[in-house]
Amino acid sequence: MKAAITAVAHNVPPDVYDNVWFESKIDTNDEWIKTRTGITERHFAFEGGVTDILLPAAKSVLEQRGLTPEDIDLIILATITPDRVFPSSAAILQRKLGATNAWGFDLAGACSGFLYALVTGAKMVESGAVKRALILGGDKMSSILNFEDRTTCVLFGDGGGAVLLEATDDDTFGVVDHILRMDGRGEDFLHQKAGGSLRPPTIETVTNREHFVYQEGQAVFKSAVKGMADVSFEIMQRNELTADDVAWLVPHQANLRIIDATADRMGLSRDKVMINIDRFGNTTAGTIPICLSELHINKKVAKGDYVVLSSFGAGYTWGSVLIRWAIDT
């Protein structure tokens, strides 16, 4: 038995902020942001939490399958910007959705959070432990961005998405294979300095602006290019797939140059690479479900297509997941 994605949806806050918006606040410009990252605009929600972003997507996947909230057995919510430290955002979303039969938890895998959650959920479905798993990935990055730091604030956006995982008897569909990796030495280069148990909030941590994303961009860039390209190539090789066999690469949307390097390593032409970083920026755990949802809505992915998902993020965490698309177009 395999677990297959049977529905997918996404949601982003309505308010759009283009690159020019930053020019009055920090020393930056549209040209730098576009050429270094590929980003043109992003969505921010300065009110509400991550569950407010994800709830419409959760409702939509249920609607697509004609299910009620009570039909969900498990909720895994990947985020690094939960509504609160506790209870989990999975629990908050469960209440808002009315998924009274579901248990669940949050998963903090940063930009790889959705892939970690997808694989974990798939294993739960494949084992027969749960019948239907709701897998969500999303972040309200505006809540941890230092809008005075030009090296980070222009990179991110708010948004997320959801997929429904259900058992399929046809083993050729669904989540086919995965490679997930982690290297904790990455902490030095990408982290949030304060707010956790190591450095609880104080007036000093707030004054020093320690509750925001800290990133050493070049170090992360180098590891991301190698990490994402390696696992994406490896998953093709060990499944004996050539570039012709792969319908889509759905990469984490952190930087267009990292995406290009991954596609080159896989030998994929640009028309097989899902890109929407220009419109959403880096929504951390949200990028991959948003990409999948847009591919589905625009009828660009067909039943039976091989799709390679790939990501790199804080931790470091990275990985690739091979899926065979199971939804009729």
Of 64, 146, 151, 192, which one interacts with ligand ACO (CB under 6 A)? Answer: 151
Tell me which stretch binds ligand ACO (CB under 6 A): 86-94, 150-158, 169-177, 318-326.
150-158
C-alpha span between 103 and 51 (Å, rounded):
16
The answer to whether residue 32 forms part of the interface with ligand ACO (CB under 6 A) is: yes
Nearer to ligand ACO, 65 or 191 (CB): 191
252 is catalytic: yes
Residues 240-259 that bind ligand ACO (CB under 6 A): 254-255, 258
Residues 39-98 that bind ligand ACO (CB under 6 A): none
Nearest in space to 162 (alpha carbons), one of 99, 75, 247:
75
10 is catalytic: no
Residue with tokens 């979303």: 93
Give kind and range of the element (H or E) at residue 190.
strand 190-192
Cis peptide leading into 316, omega within 30 of 0?
yes
C-alpha span between 189 and 216 (Å, rounded):
5
Binding mask 291-320 for ligand ACO (x = CB under 6 A): ---------------------xxx------
C-alpha span between 299 and 245 (Å, rounded):
19
Provide, rounded to whole angstroms, the least separation between the CB of residue 271 and ligand ACO: 23
Of 6, 11, 37, 120, which one interacts with ligand ACO (CB under 6 A)? Answer: 37
The answer to whether residue 143 forms part of the interface with ligand ACO (CB under 6 A) is: no
The answer to whether residue 195 forms part of the interface with ligand ACO (CB under 6 A) is: no
The residue annotated as part of the active site, out of 252, 276, 291, 296, is 252
Cis peptide leading into 87, omega within 30 of 0?
yes
C-alpha span between 101 and 98 (Å, rounded):
9
DSSP for 227-284 reads HHHHHHHHHHHHTT--TTTEEEEEE--S-HHHHHHHHHHHT--GGGB---HHHH-B-G
146 is catalytic: no
The answer to whether residue 266 forms part of the interface with ligand ACO (CB under 6 A) is: no
Q: Known catalytic residues?
A: 111, 252, 282
Interface residues with ligand ACO (CB under 6 A)? 28, 32-33, 36-37, 110-111, 150-151, 154-155, 190, 217-218, 220-221, 224, 254-255, 258, 282, 284, 312-314
